[in-house]
Amino acid sequence: MAVTPAALVARLARVREPLYILRDTTTGLVGLAGPDGAHAIQAGQYQMLGSLAPLYPEWLGDRAFAEVHGVRFPYVVGEMANGIASTDMVIAAARAGVLGFFGSAGLSPERVEKAIDTIEAALGPAGLSWGMNLIHSPHEPGIESGVVDLFLRRGVRRVSASAFLALTPTVVRYACSGLRQAPDGAVIRQNHVFAKISRPEVAEPFMSPAPPAMLQALVAQGQLTAEEAALAARVPVAEDITAEADSGGHTDNRPLTALFPTILGLRDRMMARHGFTRPIRVGAGGGLGTPSAVAATFALGAAYVMTGSVNQCAVESGLSEDGRAMLAQAGLADVIMAPAGDMFEMGVKVQVLRRGTMFATRGAWLYELYQTYPSLEALPAAVRERLEREIFQKPIDQVWAETEAYFRQRDPHQVKRAAEDPRHRLALCFRWYLGQSSRWAIAGDPARRLDYQIWCGPAMGAFNAWVAGSFLEPAGQRTVEQIARNLLEGAAVITRAQQARTSGVPVPPEAFSFAPRPLA
C-alpha cells in the first residue's frame, strides 16, 4: 500500500488504473493501493474505505461534446485572427483528437477559401472535425455576410462566433440553414455555432431560439426556407457556448470563477424557459495555461475547454518565429489592454503582449488623438510630424492612399463614408497602423518589431512558468498536440489527487503538480 508521499504521488499519477483507499488495521495509516489492493483486503491487514475508478482525460468534460463533434477530447484550439490559428494548426489539432478553429477573421474571402481547400484536402478523407471563425464586423456587415455565404457554399459545419454584441441575421442564417426533422420528431442540426461570450446579456440570445422577426425576414429574402424557420423556433441559436474569461485579444477581463457559474445558471434558466430537449453545452476559455487551471475549469462543470494564447506560441502558429520567441519569454504580468483595430471607433480594446513592444502605448495615443481632433487636417504640425516619424514611418498622405486602395477592394462603402466624414477618414488612417501591426508580427518584420501587436492573455505567462525546465520550454518544441495532451493529462492527474483528498487520503502538495513530458 502506498503511504509515503513519493509513493502516493506516483500512484495518483497513474490515472488509468483503479485505486483502492485502504486503512492499515495495525497502524491506522490511510493509503492507496492499485489493482492488487483486493488481495491485501482479503488478507485482513487492510480495511477498504473506498475506491476511485480509472480516470481518462477524455472523460473530463461532457461526453456529448465528443459524440456530437466527432473528437476524442473535450478540448478546443481557439481561433486567432489573421491566420495565426493556421491551417497547419487546425490540421494538427484534428489529428490529435481535438477541435481546432481556423483564424479567418481579418482575411480576405479568397484567403479563407484557400484555407478551406487546404484543410479539406488534409482532413476530408479521414472525416476529422474542424471549424472556422466568424467574427462580428459591425462596420463591415457585407464582409460578415459574405463570409457566411462562403461557409454555407463550402459546407463548413462548425463556426466559432466571436466578438458579437448581439445576434445578427448572418449568424442566425448560418445556424438555422439545413435544420431538418428526424422521424422521431427531433430537430437535426447541420451547422454548429460555438458562441464565444463574456456577458450574460450577450449569451442569452444565443441560448434562445432565433427572433421570429429575424427568421421571417430571412425567409422573405430567400435565405432560409419556411421549414427551417419553423424548426428554428424549437432550438437555441447555439448549443455550444464558450464562456470567455480573461483572454488574449477581445476580452472583458472577467475572472472565470465569477463568469462561468453565472453563464451556467443562465443556461439552466434558458433550458427551462424554452423547454429544450437537448442540453446546451457550456465550455470555457481564457486564462487556461496550466493543468491546474484546466482541472479547475472542468470542476466548475465545463463541457469543454478552449485554449488560445498558449497555442499562439506553438510551431504550427501563423505567428513569426520572432513573435513566438517573444511569447515564450512572457511573464504573468506582461500583458496590457490596447485599442482594437476592428472596433476602434467604439473604444473597444484587446489584450496584447506588452513585453518587447510599444504597440499598446502607441495605439492608446492614436485613440486619444481620434477623440481630440475631428480630421487629419486638424492635427497640429508637431503631432503630424511625430505620427509620420514614430508610428507610420511614412507620410500620412501615403498611409491614406494605401488605406483607400485597401477599402476600395474590401469595402467601398468605407471610402465613400470617409469622403463625406473627415473624422472617419482619420479613424481609417489610424486603423491602418492597428491592422498592420498584427501583420508585422506575423511576417516577423525586424524593422517594425517595436510595433508588433501580439494578442496575449495572462495564461501565456502561467504556461511559461509551468513548462520552465521541461521539454516544452524551448519555443521550437511547443506543438499543438503536446500542449493539449499535457494540459489534459495534467488536469486528469490533479483531478485524481483532489478526488483522493476528498476521500480522506492525506495527499501531499506535490501531487497537485504535473511536470510536462512527451505524450503519445
Residue 520 lies in a domain: no
What is the rounded CA–CA span in Å between residue 70 and residue 327? 32
Q: Which string of b and e fits 91-120 if b means at least 16 CB within 10 Å?
A: bbbbebbbbbbbbbbbbeeeebbebbebbe
pLDDT tens digit sequence for 491-508: 999 999 999 999 989 999
Q: What is the pLDDT of residue 367?
A: 97
pLDDT of residue 28: 86
Question: Which of these three, 319, 336, 358, is where a domain ends?
Answer: 319
Tell me what pLDDT residue 2 has.
Answer: 67
What tens digit of pLDDT does each residue of 58-100 get?
Answer: 999 999 999 999 999 999 999 999 999 999 999 999 999 999 9
Number of domains making up the chain: 3
Sheet holding 46-52, edge to edge: 30-33, 19-24, 46-52
**Which has the closest alpha carbon to 489: 514, 461, 463, 459?**
514
| Within a domain: 361 | yes
pLDDT score of 99: 98
Task: Tell me whether residue 31 is exposed, middle or buried, using C-beta atoms within 10 angstroms of its C-beta: 0 to 12, 13 to 18, 19 or more.
Answer: buried
Neighbours of 44 (CB within 10 A): 8
Residue 358 resides in a domain: yes
The last residue of one of the domains, among 319, 346, 374, is 319
The answer to whether position 456 is within a domain reads no
What confidence score (pLDDT) does residue 121 get?
Answer: 96
Running along the chain, 520 residues long, what does each successive block of 10 average in pLDDT? 82 93 87 77 78 95 97 97 96 98 93 97 92 87 90 97 93 98 96 97 98 98 98 98 95 95 98 95 97 98 97 96 96 96 91 96 97 97 97 97 93 93 96 96 97 96 98 96 98 97 92 95
Is residue 480 situated within a structural domain? no
Residue 198, domain CATH: 3.20.20.70
The answer on 98 and 169 residing in a single domain is: yes
Q: How far is CA 508 from the centre of its chain?
A: 33
User: Is 67 found in the same domain as 167?
Assistant: yes
Query: Considering the domain boundaries, does residue 405 fall inside one?
Result: yes
Burial tier of 236 (Cβ tally within 10 Å: 0-12, 13-18, 19+):
buried
The single-letter DSSP state of residue 489 is: H
Containing structural domain, residue 108: 58-319
Q: Environment class of residue 212 by beta-carbon count within 10 Å: exposed (0-12), middle (13-18) or buried (19+)?
A: exposed
Task: Indicate whether 329 and 311 sit together in one domain.
Answer: no
In 3D space, the residue among 479, 463, 487 whose CA is nearest the CA of residue 298 turns out to be 487
Residues 285 and 369 reside in one and the same domain:
no
Alpha-carbon distance 164 to 153, whole Å? 23
Nearest to 240 by CA among 192, 295, 187: 192
Asked if the structure places residue 462 within a domain, the reply is no
* 339 in the same domain as 310: no
Buried b (16+ CB within 10 A) or exposed e, 473-492: eebeebbbbbbbbbbbbbbb
Rounded-to-integer distance, Cα 170 and Cα 199, Å: 21
Q: Judging by beta carbons within 10 Å of its beta carbon (0-12, 13-18, 19+), is residue 520 exposed, middle or buried?
A: exposed
CA distance 53 to 125: 36
In a domain, 473, yes or no: no
For residue 118, give the C-alpha cell: 487546404
Q: Do 323 and 329 contact (CB within 8 A), yes or no?
A: no
Beta strand extents in 118-272 (DSSP E only)? 131-135, 158-162, 180-181, 187-188, 192-197, 240-244, 249-250
Within this chain, do residues 159 and 45 fall inside the same structural domain, yes or no?
no
Is 269 in the same domain as 388? no
* Whether residue 247 sits in one domain with residue 302: yes
Q: How far is it, in rounded angstroms, from Cα 394 to Cα 372?
A: 22
Note the pLDDT of residue 511: 95
Question: Among 278, 299, 319, which residue terminates a domain?
Answer: 319
Q: Which three cell numbers, joined as nine digits, stand for 356?
A: 518587447
Residues 165 and 21 placed together within one structural domain of the fold:
no
Claim to verify: residue 400 and residue 447 sit in the same structural domain = yes
Both 336 and 300 in one domain: the answer is no
Task: Give the type of residue at 315.
Answer: V
Same domain, 266 and 338: no
